Amino acid sequence: MQNYEGYLFDMDGTLVNSEPLKAKALAMTCLEFNVKIKAEIYKEVMGQSWLAVLEYIFSHAKISKVPESFNPCFEKNYKTLLRAELKLNNGAKKLLNDVKKNEKKCALVTSASQWMVDTVLSLINLEGVFDVIITNEQVTNLKPHPEAYQLALKKLAITSKQAIIFEDSRSGVIAAQASGCEVIGFLHNYNQKHNLAELVPCIDSFNSYSLTNM
């Protein structure tokens, strides 16, 4: 098996269980604006840009314009849920520890905003773990464009053939593949409609992956 020099991870849904929490926060926030939606509607747009998510949610709710106060209200609700319910996915901590112990390079590559990344990493005590962090503020083209992964590889000073990427959305997998890296899909309850197994090998726990046997 190939001995990779770099391990690149998507954040939401891949490393942490944040996608259901994001869905709950969206439903909570909509309710504050007198709009009732089911949290599960987020499954339809999981992995897309935040603008695309909001446009879909508000179109479904038959609201023509997103209120200016929506995002600050969402941030408040999402942070509350993250503080109460955020968890690392099974085996993620051990894999990250193994990556660092074996002196491999490690990157977090997400379409999330910096405030989301800062909140998540602080709550699960992963600050300082990643050699490189790429957020949506650092790129022009979000996933499925490979720009974010290409930038991460450049900053890590490794080639695509030296890296493996873990992703949980179809757009993320397409971006990862377009960067030229090997890709493993991460399965959970919120990405079942993405049919990742059609594209890449998949796992549903990082306990299924080890540096010593891959």
Q: What is the distance between the alpha carbons of residues 103 and 83, in angstroms, rounded to a whole number?
A: 31
- Amino acid 3: pLDDT: 84
Strand partners, 132: 107
Q: Give the residue from 103, 141, 137, 98 showing the smallest Cα distance to 117.
A: 137
The amino acid at 209? Y
Q: What is the pLDDT of residues 87-119, one digit of tens each?
A: 999 999 999 999 999 999 999 999 999 999 999
Burial of 191 (0-12, 13-18, 19+ CB in 10 A): buried
Q: What H or E segment, with its residue span, contains residue 148?
A: helix 147-156
Q: Give the residue from 153, 148, 174 showing the smallest Cα distance to 163.
A: 153
Contact in structure between 58 and 71 (CB atoms under 8 Å): no
Q: What is the distance between the alpha carbons of residues 162 and 79, in angstroms, rounded to a whole number?
A: 35
Q: List, as own/partner pairs, every contact residues 198-202 make where C-beta atoms lie below 8 angstroms and the sequence separation is at least 24, other chains included.
A: 199/170, 199/173, 199/174, 200/167, 200/173
Whole-model pTM? 0.94
Q: What is the pLDDT of residues 146-190, one digit of tens each?
A: 999 999 999 999 999 999 999 999 999 999 999 999 999 999 999
Q: What is the pLDDT of residues 115-150, one digit of tens each?
A: 999 999 999 999 999 999 999 999 999 999 999 999
